[in-house]
Structures are given as structure tokens and as C-alpha cells.
Structure 1
Amino acid sequence: MSQNNSPVVRPTGEEAARASKKEAQDTEVEVLGPLHTEHGKTTIEDRVVQKLASIAAREVPGVYAMGNAARRTFNSIAERIPGASANTSGGVSVEKGEQQAAIDVTIVVEYGYSIVDVSEGIRSNIIDSVQQATGLEVLEVNIEVSDVHLPEDDDVEAERSDLK
């Protein structure tokens, strides 16, 4: 039997780093989100997230309406046109990636409710609803309060409709 007396050549620092990196890649399991599985990918349109967020915001006590004055006026006109429908996601805009979303909401708060409490309720409800329904991580929910609805506003509106 012959004995192998050849010296062992150790890898250089760069070679060792490459080998270590390759081993890590070979053993690493790709982390897929709930929308990206090994069997396929689910894509969710922005308007789906808008509708879910709008519904979740409207469920919170103290929310009188969604959107700014122009959006509310447009929706009220659209409701009077036969066959037309108002935008159910009015007052909500979404920035969405493949795994995450940021949501902006514009609301009118009913007089007598704490804006802080209503805002926190909206934020919590939207995050829970959107994350549960879509699997997207909601990074932030920004809320703009565009008005406060006063009880006397209903009286003025009723007078206007009586004059028509």
C-alpha cells in the first residue's frame, strides 16, 4: 500500500467564504408569505384592499361619513342616478406591495365622539380586517379627519330636500 504524502492545501479566505455561503444557500428554506406558496402566487388588487378598509372604518362608532366634502357630494349625486352606484371605497387610498400595505383614510367624525378614540378604533379595525382577509401586513393606517358632523347639519339638509 502506498501512502499519500501530498500536502493538504487549505482554501483561501475567499474560497472558504464562498463555500460557506453556498452551504448556507443549500440548507436555507425559502420563506414564502401566505400569498406566495410553492404551489403558486395570489395577487390582490388595490381596490380590494380599499373596499375592505372602507367597510372596516365604517363599522367604527363615531364615523359619520368617508371622504372629503367633494367625494361625499359626488357620491350623493351618483346615488340619485338610476343604475349608478356610489364608490364604496371613497375616502380610502392604498399603497400596496406584494406582502405589505399602507392605508390612508379620510373621515367625518360624528360630533360628541373622541377623535382619538375613533381614530384608534378605525386603525385597529382596518389592520385586523385587512390582515385577516388578505394576508398582507398593514404597516400603517393614516387617518385624516376632514370634518365634524353636527346634529344641526341634518336639519339644514332636511330643509334643502323639502325645498326641492
Structure 2
Amino acid sequence: MITPKGTTTIDSGVVSKIAGLAAREMPGVYDMGAGTARALGAVRGIMGADKSATQGVSVEVGERQAAADLEVIVEYGIAIPDLAAAVRRNVITAVERMTGLEVTEVNIKVSDVHMPGDRDRSEESSEPEPRVQ
């Protein structure tokens, strides 16, 4: 953004983080990213690092516009079209409000459904549980 007093440039990582956080705050979004990205997030978690807010998020940022692609895992029982519309609205609102960029599109790929009682791989121990105690 160019103003009479200077130029403001917003890095794509900033837009990715805003979009990822806005998507994750929606009820019904269990997690984000495909299996590989989630596995890397689990490894980061084991090493004490926080899960990346940009996991499952890809953006393109221009001078005045941005577009985002999100990959989400939804909770079982959630109406996917309704959730996708809510996530899209929340991401557009957050990115536009915080950056001033026009969001031209938010594409959402639902890559999995989290079933009640399923354990995430990041919760599983690498060592098998003993058979006797």
C-alpha cells in the first residue's frame, strides 16, 4: 500500500497466520493441514514448539489483494457447507480488517473428518503401552 507518507508491505506469512487463526477459531474445525503437515506439527509439539498457525494455509499476496487456500479437518456431524461458509466469512473479515487487503477468494479443501473418540497421531505415544503393570 502506497501512501503519501510511505509504503506498507504485508508479508505473505502475516496473511497466512491471520487466515489460519481465523479458520481455527471456528467451532467445527478440528485441525488443519494434510497428514504430512500434521505429522510435522506433532514433531514440533514433541520438541516443545507450538503448532504452526500457518499449517494447512497457503496464500498469494499482491499489492492490494490476497487469496487463500485452506485445508481443514472437520468434526463429525458438522454440516460441511455451513462450516465452509462460516470459515470463509471469518477469514475474509479478519484478513481484510487487519491488513486492508481485498480478499478475492478463500478456497477450502476438507481433507478428513474427525470421529468422536479418535485419537490424533500427535496424541499417540511412540512406545507401545505395556500389556501388564
Distance 1:124 1:147 in 2: 21
Distance 1:37 1:138 in 2: 20
Deviations 1:101-128 (A, max 9, x none): 0100000000010110110011000000
Paired amino acid for 2:61: K
Q: Are 1:61 and 2:30 matched, yes or no? A: no
Residue in structure 2 matched with residue 80 of structure 1 by the alignment: 46
Residue in structure 1 matched with residue 12 of structure 2 by the alignment: 46
* Offset of residue 44 of structure 1: 0.4
Q: Secondary structure at the match of 2:117?
A: helix
Q: Are 1:121 and 2:78 matched, yes or no? A: no
Distance 2:4 2:10 in 1: 18
Closer/same/farther in 2, CA of residues 98 and 118 from structure 1, 3 Å limit: same
Alignment map for 1:1-164 (pairs within 5 Å): 35-82=1-48, 84-154=49-119, 160-161=124-125, 163=129
Closer/same/farther in 2, CA of residues 41 and 151 from structure 1, 3 Å limit: same
Indicate if the aligned counterparts of 2:72 and 2:110 stay in contact, CA closer than 8 A: yes
* Offset of residue 156 of structure 1: 8.8
* Gapped regions of structure 1 (runs ≥ 5): 1-34
Deviations 1:73-114 (A, max 9, x none): 1101111114x4432210000011000001000000000101
Paired amino acid for 1:140: E
Report the TM-score when normalising by structure 1.
0.72
* Offset of residue 157 of structure 1: 7.9
Closer/same/farther in 2, CA of residues 49 and 156 from structure 1, 3 Å limit: closer
Report the TM-score when normalising by structure 2.
0.88
Q: How many residues are paired up?
A: 128
Tell me which protein shows more strand as a share of its residues.
2
Paired amino acid for 1:57: A
* Gapped regions of structure 2 (runs ≥ 5): none
Q: List structure 1 segments (4+ residues) > 4 angstroms apart after TM superposition.
A: 155-158
Paired amino acid for 2:57: V
Distance 2:86 2:63 in 1: 26
Once the two structures are aligned, what percentage of the paired residues are identical? 47
Closer/same/farther in 2, CA of residues 157 and 150 from structure 1, 3 Å limit: farther
